[in-house]
Structure 1
Amino acid sequence: MLNHSDNDLEIIRRVIEGDVNAYNYLLKKYKNYVFKIISKHVPYDQTEETAHEVFVRAYQSLPTFKNKSSFKQWLSKIAVRTCYDFWRKAYKSRELPMSSLTENQQAWLENIISDQSDESFYEQGRRKEALEVLNYAMEKLSPEDRMVLELIYLEGLSGKEAADLLGWSLANVKIRALRSRRKLHQLLIESPKD
């Protein structure tokens, strides 16, 4: 019996040989996994389009898949790099997307509507304000700085894991993380206070 990776390899072989419909199997199998990665890195209203881009890139790159790692790992690299490209385009055009409410923001609004104590309301307001300031500062960072900080500090990846996903050297990731933290710190100090 084929295990998952053998099954993926068989599907990849069939797709490369011209069976385009076989790719649907990989798409269905990894759709939720890709959405989970993307939802951490791009605004909610951009996840579907970005996921589509990931699967198009993966399909086009299948002939280059060398089976040095699992298909899932290979696909996660494409997903992270596609998110990076999303922010790079937004940064170049200086049109930072306005995301719709996240789950946390929706929960925060629902708690306001419900009968919460004044103290709880105050604490939630402070958290929301802190998140807004952090998001404001993160949007000012370059795409490279943003991705390094998100991967290492928000997702908890090691420097080596981040380097692998981004296709950079470990030394580059460490230096970029240090400089990015400093830039973020400076932006947070300079952020507008209402």
Structure 2
Amino acid sequence: MKTVAETMDDLDIIRQILDGKVNAFEFLLERYQEHVVKIVKKHIPYNQIEEVTHDVFIRSYQSLPTFKNTSDFKHWLSSIAVRTCYDFWRKQYRERELPLSSLPEKQQHWLEATVSMEAHQAFSEAEDIQETRELLDWALTQLSPEDRMVIELVYLEEYSGKEAAKLLGWSVANVKVRSFRARKKLEKILQGKSSIIGGK
């Protein structure tokens, strides 16, 4: 049997929160926590996931008065999650404290497709696949926060230009131009690093 919260749609819950029933926000948290964690895990080092996820829900709660009833709440929340991840990397970029983390297998495959055949051969000869994972993560940290996020969304997660634009709050044209330039920058970084590995 469904609980009262489960039978309520997002707009009803939001209206309750805005009417002063702040505890109703727990219903949204329970409903979308897993969804937000999935987004954050794709962009943030493992040991920071919990903190960044917490920040996403704080921001969403604070921004509820700006939520438009004509919008899809899940998509609206996804945009906040992506932008919170973006802000995380902006902070790391400023402080130059760039942690390494393991990357999903999908990102490894993209790495192999991105670099040249010569670079790919050098990577394949690495003794530990973890080195390859950390290399891609290191390369991403060499990019600006904007370039990193657009690379992850467009090439690693395969969002369309329009979808990425909505999540980032950019124009489609800006996403297309920046993603192209960012990919070229990343290729150059990876190829330069792979030549060092290959020369060992």
TM-score after normalising by structure 1:
0.82
- 1:72, 1:124 → 2: CA distance? 41
Whichever residue aligns with residue 50 of structure 1, its letter is V
CA contact (8 A) 2:37 2:49 kept: yes
Q: Closer, same or farther in 2 for the Cα pair 1:129/1:166, shift >3 Å?
A: same
Q: For each residue in 1:5-48, what CA deviation from the matched residue of structure 2 results, as whole angstroms up to 9, or x when unmatched?
A: 96110100010111011000000000000000000000011010
Return the offset for 1:70. Answer: 1.1
Whichever residue aligns with residue 24 of structure 1, its letter is E
Whichever residue aligns with residue 81 of structure 1, its letter is R
Q: 1:188 aligns with which of 185, 190, 198?
A: 190
Q: Closer, same or farther in 2 for the Cα pair 1:73/1:66, shift >3 Å?
A: same
1:77 to 2:79 alignment: yes
- 1:102, 1:176 → 2: CA distance? 23
Matched with 2:63 is 61
SS at match of 1:40: helix
Q: RMSD of the TM alignment (CA)?
A: 2.3
Q: For each residue in 1:102-135, what CA deviation from the matched residue of structure 2 results, as whole angstroms up to 9, or x when unmatched?
A: 687xxxxxxxxxxxxxxxxx88946433322212
SS at match of 2:130: helix
Q: 1:167 aligns with which of 169, 172, 177?
A: 169
Matched with 2:42 is 40
Matched with 1:17 is 19
- 1:23, 1:157 → 2: CA distance? 29
Show structure 2 runs of 5+ residues with no match: 106-123
CA contact (8 A) 1:38 1:83 kept: yes
State the percentage of identical aligned residues.
56
Whichever residue aligns with residue 176 of structure 2, its letter is K
Return the offset for 1:139. Answer: 1.1
CA contact (8 A) 2:55 2:84 kept: yes
- 1:102, 1:173 → 2: CA distance? 23
Q: Closer, same or farther in 2 for the Cα pair 1:5/1:181, shift >3 Å?
A: farther
Q: Closer, same or farther in 2 for the Cα pair 1:29/1:158, shift >3 Å?
A: same
Q: How do 1:84-103 residues align onto structure 2 when only pairs under 5 Å count? A: 84-99=86-101
Matched with 2:114 is none
How many residues are paired up?
Answer: 174
Matched with 2:146 is 144
Show structure 1 runs of 5+ residues with no match: 105-121
CA contact (8 A) 2:103 2:137 kept: no
Matched with 1:118 is none
